[in-house]
Chain A
């Protein structure tokens, strides 16, 4: 059954086996300087591919800044 997660305060469709990397890809978050937390816990960059996002969880993707 399709569920929902909250990504940066916005609802996003959830699917079985969804990883942090999937969330970033589906949200089109392509900026390289990101800080990702899953239900308040920091997810290291090296774990984006392996950490699964449970249905109903809250993902915060903090985009830092760059550019002139």
Chain B
């Protein structure tokens, strides 16, 4: 679909157009309907919706135009403007032809409200003859084909289509049978202008299915019309972020040491667009038009039990490309996909594998490991073959794979105890917290994200809060209180998706066209409204954002209490490794010395040139670690927790979860920490 307002870097010659005496300049290819809409001139349509390709089946948008002195009739919805023209949307010829079209339709479908309204607008009298196919139903199908195009273009399913010809033409599923591919997503029913298609939702028994579909279709339309200019989730999926993260110095490379790489183009969006199959639903979620789960068909692994055989690979996502690509120095897309495939096949998380492998590789290059200790594996960054062999060893429970497979927390202990490695160095570079490996973003320049990672209940996964842009790029949350507020709102909001069993991506990987005009666009208010309506339509009653946040806050605090009961949930558990906060090695410092020196000069008021690099690093580290402690204080306070991260009895009471056994757990911890 053309986007008449899309910004292009090339200068395109604009075409002057006159519609009803008013002038406008449009880009070549803009339809007459779009041009009229830009001028606020309404041209009637029955079969048109901007979310699907123009079809011109109803003919009511027929309009008289004059090009180079010659007059003719065209259908406005699919007439592309290629040269200057003048159009008359209400000329005698235009009105006469529209009346003729509407007269024929009303003769066949006399009681369809949308037709009757249009008939009134054009003064079309009831037919004076009896149409042989007359259908009195107010919800009769008028054969506009919107449903067929929606199923094909928006859902990528092609389940419903036209059958029969001439007088027997109708819309149905193949052979008139109910297709088992139809998930009842309701896109066809919503886009239908007459209500001819009914979806009976018997699975979830929502109180108000129409209310839910209204917001569901809004999302569907956004996906179909805006995604190509936004995140390209339908084409690439989350892997569209690879080159973007690189541009902002946020793409982890070589175990989170750096944030960009000269070879990023080898693993960026165009590569994945060409490798993954296009224009098919992913089967991830019934009727979800985002379809961001991608598949590489006919992939032939070069190693392991499937070597030389054709397989289908689910992915890769951004996290997999960064974790099993740039962060281990692998820039061969084939190797990334092969690691992706074997992680899936063996039941191993690609984030944990990538981050653990990166740690082992840095240990190898730092001399903590050698081939004697790895069983002959040369674990250098960029050695895709070694990474794959490590993966196969993990699956077989053999060799060095059994060490790396235990994760970074245990590797740190093993390397210190058995190989005599420096514990402090291992702690600094081992990207884990709470025993979980970090996901794939560089958080060094975003204090809020350092908290978003290390304070997350499950460990350093970004799904509680991704605040790097708000904090580091936008400078929207400069104070500890503002960061704490973000570390309250976003974890609570995102926890709710887990409570509902919903995917978070439709919330902010596609955004309403008017999102930029909203007061807090980062929260995507239009979609929050949709989720309020979804919940209300599902359960009945009226649920608002505050209700949603409270649901999450209850569960979030319960999770914290469970952690405390298990002997965790302390302030010390909410700290991450220094690699997540700043430069651990001289090489890292020197690679971004201008940035760090500027910070020393402007924030700490020292002259870096008068200091050695290790002195600068030590000063920067002390500052950043102090900042992090202040962040913990602010976030705990906002969440209603003690300085050690324990929910207070008052907080539990406010959330109505102050059950005796819960209070017992927190009081015991508060006595231990001396804050009872």
Which residues of chain A have a CB within 8 Å of any CB of chain B?
A: 8-10, 21, 28-33, 35, 42, 44-46, 48-49, 60-68
Contacts and interface: CB of A to CB of B under 8 A. Distances in A.
Nearest to A36: B516
A49 B14 CA distance: 14
B511 A33 contact: yes
Interface stretch (B396-404, B472-480, B548-556, B657-665): B472-480
B516 A30 contact: no
B229 A68 contact: no
Q: Which 9 A-B pairs have the closest CB atoms?
A: A63-B469, A46-B5, A35-B516, A9-B475, A66-B509, A30-B247, A66-B231, A35-B521, A63-B473
Interface string B294-323: 000000000000000000000001110000
Contacts of A35: 515-516, 521
Contact of B230 (A8, A21, A33, A68): A33
A64 B244 contact: no
Contacts of A61: 473-474
B506 to A, nearest CB: 11
A67 B466 contact: yes
Interface of B: 5-9, 229-231, 238, 241, 243-244, 247-248, 317-319, 439, 462-463, 466, 469-470, 473-476, 504-505, 508-509, 511, 515-517, 521-522, 524
Contacts of B244: 30-31
A62 B522 contact: yes
**Counting chain B CB atoms within 10 Å of each CB, which of A30, A49, A61, A65 scores highest?**
A65
A65 B504 CA distance: 12
Nearest to A61: B474
B7 A67 contact: no
B247 A8 contact: no
15 contacts: A8-B474, A10-B475, A21-B9, A33-B231, A35-B516, A42-B517, A44-B5, A46-B5, A62-B476, A62-B522, A63-B470, A64-B521, A66-B508, A68-B318, A68-B504
B511 A30 contact: no
Given A31-B244, A32-B231, A33-B511, A64 B318 contact: no
Contacts of B230: 32-33
Given A30-B247, A32-B231, A35-B516, A68 B319 contact: yes
A12 to B, nearest CB: 13
Contacts of B511: 33, 64
Nearest to A9: B475
A30 B516 CA distance: 17
- Best-buried of A8, A35, A42, A64 by chain B (most CB within 10 Å): A64
Contacts of B5: 44-46
Contact of A8 (B231, B462, B473): B473
Contacts of A64: 469, 508, 511, 515, 521-522, 524
Contacts of B515: 35, 64
B7 A21 contact: yes
Contact of B505 (A8, A29, A68): A68
A9 B409 CA distance: 39
Considering residues A32, A63, A68, which has the most beta carbons from chain B within 10 angstroms of its beta carbon? A68
A54 B6 CA distance: 24
A33 B5 CA distance: 15
A33 B230 CA distance: 6
A63 B474 contact: yes
Nearest to A35: B516
B492 to A, nearest CB: 15
Contacts of B463: 68
A65 B474 CA distance: 11
A32 B510 CA distance: 11
A65 B470 contact: yes
A17 B59 CA distance: 47
A49 B238 contact: no
B469 A65 contact: yes
